[in-house]
């Protein structure tokens, strides 16, 4: 069975990772797919804060300019912040980015996300990024 491209059904705002929070103007808005699917759910302990969470995947078209820290080094704020769906206040940090199906007709990009909010990684890390209630 041939692997097919995912449906890119959600508008995604991609912001540069540094403050201000909430970010003002997206660097890029693209269509994407927020998924766990057959790739399987992952969980992580965020920065030894005993805050466990699921790590969703954001699937976007091939060559989309979405960035993790690999281009600047892990100690820099070089990762992107994304809002998925755009305009909802659902904020994520881009933890890792890799291509799927590189060189094939079904090539697309996958970003591993971490849900972010005001206290992640210590008080005030993402001041202003609180998820809406109820969650859209």
Burial-class residue 26 by CB neighbours within 10 Å (0-12, 13-18, 19+): middle
Cα–Cα distance between 118 and 98 in angstroms, integer?
Answer: 27
| C-alpha closest to that of 35 among 95, 84, 99, 98 | 84
pLDDT tens digit string along 19-55? 788 888 999 999 999 987 565 545 554 444 445 566 7
The pLDDT value recorded for residue 49 is: 46
Cβ neighbours of residue 120 closer than 8 Å, sequence gap 6 or more: 46, 47, 49, 51, 93, 114, 126
- Domain map of the chain by residue range? 10-115
CB 83 within 8 A of CB 15: yes
- Between 134 and 72, the more confident residue is 134
Q: 16-20, 31-35, 120-124: which range is least confident on average?
A: 120-124
Tell me the average pLDDT across 9-25: 90
The pLDDT value recorded for residue 80 is: 92
pLDDT tens digit string along 53-110? 667 899 999 999 999 888 776 555 678 999 999 999 999 989 889 999 999 999 999 9
Whether residue 122 has pLDDT greater than 60: no
Whether residue 13 has pLDDT greater than 70: yes
Give the CB-side neighbour count of residue 135, counting CA atoms within 13 A. 9
pTM score:
0.83
Length in residues, the chain: 136
């Amino acid at each position: 069975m041939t692997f097919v491209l995912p449906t890119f059904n959600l508008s995604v705002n991609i912001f540069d990772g540094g403050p201000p929070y909430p970010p003002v103007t997206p660097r890029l808005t693209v269509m994407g797919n927020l998924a766990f699917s057959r790739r399987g759910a992952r969980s992580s302990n965020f920065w030894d804060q005993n805050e466990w969470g699921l790590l969703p995947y954001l699937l976007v078209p091939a060559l989309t300019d979405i960035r993790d820290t690999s281009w600047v080094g892990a100690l820099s704020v070089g990762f992107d912040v994304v809002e998925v769906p755009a305009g909802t206040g659902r904020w994520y940090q881009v933890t890792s980015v890799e291509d799927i199906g590189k060189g094939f007709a079904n090539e697309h990009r996958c970003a591993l996300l971490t849900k972010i909010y005001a206290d992640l990684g210590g008080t005030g890390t993402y001041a202003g990024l609180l998820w809406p209630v109820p969650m859209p």
